[in-house]
Amino acid sequence: MTPVKDLTETTAPDLAVELGLTPDEYEKIVEILGRVPSKTELYMYSLMWSEHCSYKTSRAYLRQFPTDGEHVLQGPGENAGVISAGDGWAIAFKMESHNHPSAIHPFQGAGTGLGGCARDIFAMGARPIAFVGSSRFGSLDSEHQRWLFDEATKGMVDYSRGFRVPLVAGETYFDDAYEGNCLINAMAIGQLREEDLIRAQATGVGNLVVLIGGKTGREGIGGASVLASADFGETAEGESPVVEVTGVLGDPDEGRRLAEACLELQQAGLLVGLGDLGAAGLTSSASEMASRAGNGIEIDVDAVPLKEEGMEPFEIMVSETQERMLAVVDPDNLNEVVAICQKWELPVTVVGKVTDTGKFVVKKGDELHGEMPASSLAEDAPTVESEMSRPSYLDELGAFDLDSLEHPREVADLNRTLLDMLASTNLSSRKWAADQAADVAVDRVVLGSGNDAAVVRIGDEDSTRAIAISADCNGRYVYLDPYRGSQIALAEAARNVSCVGADPAAITDCLNFGNPEKPEVFWTFAQSIAGLADGCRALGVPVISGNVSFYNESGGAAIYPTPVIGMVGLLDSIDEVKTLDFKDEGDVIILVGQTADELGGSEYLSAVHGVAAGTIPALDLELEADVQRIVRRLVRQDLVKSAHDCSDGGIAVALAESAIAGDIGATVVLDDDLPAHSSLFSETQSRILVTCDVADAEKVIEELHDAEVPYSVIGEVGGRRLLIENAIDLPVSDLAVAHGDALGDILAV
């Protein structure tokens, strides 16, 4: 067959530029093909060579990450990373962004962010068991931001409920830096037997390529290339200016049935390979599967079931319709595959075959609309070398004189400050969001939202093994110091899973930044990657999957650089898990670590003074590892009753949270010789509050001494008030009211 000549030497370059390709990239395509590309080929290359799909700006830097480790079964390069979890069980997990679709349609965009991650999980042969959300919005003083937050939260919960997988943890922050560009990051976690791990590869010449799931429509055409570089401003509630590009119309029940069908096919040994149709649709899934196997693939678009008549071949190839998977199947197994898909009420269609040519062939009946090397789509996107320069704002903000601010000194003022911080949108209870998801199946959930980390039981119904999950990033820290701020995000995620007793095993990430074509933005990105890479090596935690999201800005103003870390830790037994709440009268309170005068970039400065400035806290990664290691040891020996990370808001907020959670007070003496506001609200790293029975205190102190970590006995649990000598004197009930349900109250207005 001769390729359809629907473009000429005159029209093709103009369409290439319109689709986001540079003139040099167009010339490279011509060189690869040896001719003028067709319209279908140009669309396919434009999507696969977009920043969103190819990571052409970032991939050279991502190679710095350590990707191997004791538990790693599958690192980056597949739909999701996979780690071993003991007794033959494995855990697959992945985090991705859905920022730009959610800025337009927050309900659908946020929900299908979870759906896309879920497909990545069961594409590996794993059953999804938990979802996590991480989001950022502007100030809730804005009606539009309240609408975005409300709709995005409900969208995630709705998808979680329809998919019947619980939303177990997450984080939500509010800052003016995200006013024009919200962040919606989704994470999915699944379990499988190690021997059931499958990969997205088109192996076996002559095997069939089978499309499973919903009919293909015009949703998302151009989504990855158009939305990834869009500049979003304020959009009126309900408006959808580019809804035809968003591809966010998902069906969680169909997604659930798709998962069940694919898992049943895998268990029956009927799948050679399985891939998710996400960004760039059939093009990305088929080209990546063929390229990984070193094979070719042929697709006949006439065989693809369509939602609407008249769709052109290029539309079919790049559609981002949700709830679809691409399977490679032995012809002898086709009838069984069809029967299982029909059982789950899913369309299933043979749309192509695996070849030995190395070519990606797209035809429409007898018409040839594309013929290109599969590897050129999946692997040959040109690398972009971005310029870098250190942001000029860093020196000014780093030198900000914190002493020029008026700080509270009297107990009454310090009481008011603590209450105001507990009531702030970044520190207040997330009860409203947690209540939205309260009726989702939670049979595996040991600890859910509101703890340092979620804990989810894994294995069969008799298993006591579990994983701990945390998602963390302080964007202000990364803005003020991208190298160290990124390491702090990593350290806090690890600290959170350590507090419940889990060994940090591996991370996924979602790296949210502004326009990489701006030298200051790209310098920040490069510093963040270097910091994370060094931090992962120091803590012995590999990166097994992740996502880069660039162009997060509006009106030329970038978001805070926000590299969100999704951490998974391993627990041998749910019986070892500890929580953050104070337990019993007379329990001893011990601070593992020590407090320094480190208020730069703190929640105290932001919430009380409206300032994002100063030098962020130091981070000694060796000390961090030692503190986490000894706390895990104390938890597993059952020597402590509670453990709680000291982070946003400092030790005063950590003490208040533990008191509120346990509905019991504490009497505390902080002997750090710092000004009261610094002692209470400093965000010094590598600190964990633990409590223990008086009878165990001597043993705990001995263990801490032998571990050679700093510590201090600071008080005891009891009473109905939080008393911090010369600083705080408040009833626990007042703390609870302040912490309350500020987000729910705001949205109810």
Q: How confident is the model at residue 153 (pLDDT cuts 50, 70, 90)?
A: very high
Higher pLDDT, 36 or 748: 36
pLDDT at 617: 98
Residue 694 has pLDDT above 50, yes or no: yes
pLDDT at 637: 96
Report how many helices (DSSP H) and strands (DSSP E) the chain contains, helices first: 28, 28
739 catalytic per annotation: no
Distances (CA, A) of 475 to 479, 480, 483, 560, 680: 6, 9, 12, 5, 22
Convert the pLDDT of each residue in 65-91 to its tens digit: 999 999 999 999 999 999 999 999 999
Residue 248 has pLDDT above 50, yes or no: no
Higher pLDDT, 724 or 220: 724
Convert the pLDDT of each residue in 452-495 to its tens digit: 999 999 999 889 999 999 999 999 999 999 999 999 999 999 99
How far apart are alpha carbons 410 and 6 in whole angstroms? Answer: 77
pLDDT at 245: 42
List the structure tokens of 59. Answer: 């991939």
pLDDT at 437: 64
Instruction: Give residue 55's identity as a one-letter amino acid code.
Output: Y
Q: How confident is the model at residue 297 (pLDDT cuts 50, 70, 90)?
A: very high
Residue ranges of E strands in 310-376: 324-329, 348-355, 359-364, 367-373
- Selecting among 71, 98, 369, 644, the annotated active-site residue is 98
pLDDT averaged over the chain?
93
Q: Helix, strand, or coil here: 100?
A: helix
List the structure tokens of 713. Answer: 């006995």
Convert the pLDDT of each residue in 502-515 to its tens digit: 999 999 999 999 99
Residue 745 has pLDDT above 90, yes or no: no
The helix or strand, by DSSP H or E, that contains position 82, with its residue range, turns out to be: strand 81-86
Distances (CA, A) of 708 to 697, 703, 711, 749: 17, 9, 9, 52
pLDDT at 438: 60
> pLDDT over 70 for what percent of the chain?
95
Convert the pLDDT of each residue in 596-649 to its tens digit: 999 999 999 999 999 999 999 999 999 999 999 999 999 999 999 999 999 999
Q: Are residues 332 and 269 in contact, defined by beta-carbon separation less than 8 angstroms?
A: no
pLDDT at 223: 53
pLDDT at 121: 96
Calculated CA dihedral for residues 278, 284, 285, 288, nearest 10 degrees: -140
pLDDT at 747: 75
407 catalytic per annotation: no
Residue 744: closest CA among 140, 110, 41: 140
> pLDDT over 90 for what percent of the chain?
87
How confident is the model over 509-522, as a mean pLDDT? Answer: 97
**Bridge partners, residue 208, by sequence:** 329, 353
pLDDT at 257: 97
Convert the pLDDT of each residue in 134-145 to its tens digit: 999 999 999 999
- Chain centroid to Cα 117, Å, comes to 10
Q: Are residues 17 and 42 in contact, defined by beta-carbon separation less than 8 angstroms?
A: no
Residue 406 has pLDDT above 60, yes or no: yes
Q: For 163-201, b where at least 16 C-beta lie within 10 A, e where not — what string?
A: bebbbbbbbbbbbebbbbbbbbbbbbbbbbeeebbbbbb
**Bridge partners, residue 125, by sequence:** none
How confident is the model over 17-31, as a mean pLDDT? Answer: 95
pLDDT at 466: 97
pLDDT at 671: 86
Q: How confident is the model at residue 749 (pLDDT cuts 50, 70, 90)?
A: low
Residue 379 has pLDDT above 50, yes or no: yes
In this prediction the pTM is 0.94
How confident is the model over 113-127, as a mean pLDDT? Answer: 95
pLDDT at 430: 81
Instruction: Give residue 294's identity as a one-letter amino acid code.
Output: G
Distances (CA, A) of 77 to 54, 124, 291, 481: 12, 12, 12, 29
pLDDT at 561: 98
